[in-house]
């Protein structure tokens, strides 16, 4: 789910006289904060599973294998229960994502973000209070439901609310907040690892903070004009559009274009899946599937989620592995800032190609350094660490795949 492409609704792209108002900035920041919960979980799970206090509480067998390891810690994390703990969130997120599209259309983007924040808050509370593995897995599943719904609604909200001229930058804001959440989680893990016995509870429980941010933020923003028109609330759509565009914008003209786009989308719903398989749309279908698929297959997601575990496997100590994750999070956030600043100036395609070139260079460099991280002897850990930092720069493709499908 990290960095995958999002399908966004049709949005008008004309100039209606409005600019970037304080209201639209605040509204989009509130919506983009949905990336915080996903970013926080990306950073938190790998760090928690590397904490000795957490392993001693729930997975003592893994801790014993770590103590008995001589050269490195490859395969010491081979535990089906530990795998169930980490993967339960993503399985729940997958199920939620399959239902999120219909739910978002039926109740609106704002309501789905509210539900996502509530699920995530509940999951954080259950995980922080966990006394057995069952509670951990239930908490992770609640987190997964929250991520599945929020990841669907927030990027669509941004694309439908942002001014056409700055739509790329505003949509990339979701990825920026994802990077902020990721870095915050890695810093939290680095500090919590020094707290004996209950440091892991602090890391898992602080997930309630980004959950509260997205929940409160969703309460303070209106639904998108497109969503309101779909549900027949034209006057509310007009008020919402006037709020984010300001008094100088031609709100009636833009609202008319929004209503026209909604009508076109409705007329094309019948037989949409059959048409997209036709020759005319085949290149679009191939790119829509291939870009996020190959971005995931590069392996960067494994590094993003489990970098502390990978660093420990490569020979790092616990604290050094957590610091390595902090550095990767900072690089990730830096690439997000570059994306926000340049996407509307240079366009999606040049940055997408540049990201692909960086990814190829990182793959070649990593291959030159060795076959895989767990094959490095301890004395070569520094070189593998540097290779992973460069490899994390491929996150630029994650930024591009999130906005390439959006209207220009």
For residue 148, pLDDT beyond 70: yes
The reply to whether 177 falls in a domain is yes
- Pick the residue with more confidence: 9 or 110? 110
The reply to whether 341 falls in a domain is yes
Quote the mean pLDDT of the chain.
Answer: 77
The reply to whether 107 falls in a domain is yes
In DSSP notation, 262-316 reads HHHHHHT-TTHHHHHTSGGGHHHHHHHHHHHHHHHHTSHHHHHHHHHHHHHHTT-
Q: What angle do CA 293, 95, 261 make, to 5 degrees?
A: 70
The reply to whether 260 falls in a domain is no
Stretch among 91-100, 235-244, 392-401 having the lowest mean pLDDT: 392-401
Q: Which residues contact 70 (CB under 8 A, 6 or more apart)?
A: none
Q: Can you give the pLDDT at residue 140?
A: 92
CATH number at residue 315: 1.20.1250.20
Q: Can you give the pLDDT at residue 129?
A: 92
The reply to whether 292 falls in a domain is yes
The reply to whether 354 falls in a domain is yes
Q: Can you give the pLDDT at residue 380?
A: 47
The reply to whether 315 falls in a domain is yes
Q: Which domain holds residue 282?
A: 22-221+278-403
Q: Can you give the pLDDT at residue 12?
A: 58
Q: Can you give the pLDDT at residue 142?
A: 94
Domain count, the chain: 1
Stretch among 65-69, 176-180, 332-336, 375-379 having the lowest mean pLDDT: 375-379
The reply to whether 203 falls in a domain is yes
Q: Can you give the pLDDT at residue 201?
A: 93
């Amino acid at each position: 789910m990290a960095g995958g492409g999002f399908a966004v609704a049709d949005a008008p792209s004309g100039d209606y006289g409005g600019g970037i108002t304080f209201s639209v900035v605040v509204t989009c920041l509130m919506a983009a904060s949905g990336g915080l919960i996903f970013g926080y979980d990306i950073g938190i799970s790998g760090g928690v599973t590397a904490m000795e206090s957490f392993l001693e509480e729930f997975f003592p067998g893994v801790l014993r294998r770590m103590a008995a390891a001589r050269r490195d810690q490859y395969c010491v994390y081979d535990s089906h229960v530990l795998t169930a703990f980490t993967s339960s969130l993503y399985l729940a997120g997958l199920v939620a994502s399959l239902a999120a599209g219909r739910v978002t259309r039926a109740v609106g983007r704002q309501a789905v973000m509210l539900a996502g924040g509530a699920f995530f808050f509940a999951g954080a509370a259950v995980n922080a209070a966990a006394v057995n593995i069952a509670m951990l897995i239930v908490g992770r599943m609640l987190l997964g439901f929250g991520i599945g719904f929020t990841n669907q609604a927030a990027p669509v909200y941004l694309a439908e609310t942002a001014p056409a001229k700055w739509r790329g930058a505003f949509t990339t804001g979701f990825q920026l907040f994802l990077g902020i959440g990721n870095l915050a989680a890695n810093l939290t893990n680095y500090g919590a690892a020094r707290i004996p016995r209950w440091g892991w509870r602090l890391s898992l429980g602080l997930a309630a903070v980004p959950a509260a941010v997205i929940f409160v933020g969703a309460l303070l923003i209106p639904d998108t004009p497109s969503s309101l028109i779909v549900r027949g609330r034209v006057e509310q759509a007009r008020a919402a559009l006037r709020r984010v565009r300001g008094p100088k914008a031609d709100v009636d003209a833009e609202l008319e274009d929004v209503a026209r786009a909604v009508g076109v989308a409705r007329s094309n719903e019948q037989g949409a899946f059959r048409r997209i398989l036709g020759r005319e749309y085949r290149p679009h279908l191939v790119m829509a599937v291939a870009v996020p698929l190959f971005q995931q297959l590069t392996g960067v997601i494994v590094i993003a989620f489990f970098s502390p575990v990978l660093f420990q496997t490569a020979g790092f100590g616990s604290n050094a592995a957590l610091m390595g994750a902090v550095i990767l999070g900072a690089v990730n956030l830096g690439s997000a800032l570059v994306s926000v600043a340049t996407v509307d100036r240079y366009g999606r395609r040049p940055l997408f190609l540049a990201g692909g070139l960086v990814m190829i260079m990182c793959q070649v460099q990593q291959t030159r350094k060795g076959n895989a991280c767990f094959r490095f002897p301890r004395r070569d850990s520094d070189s593998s660490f540097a290779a992973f930092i460069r490899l994390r720069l491929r996150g630029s493709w994650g930024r591009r795949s999130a906005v390439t499908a959006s209207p220009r």
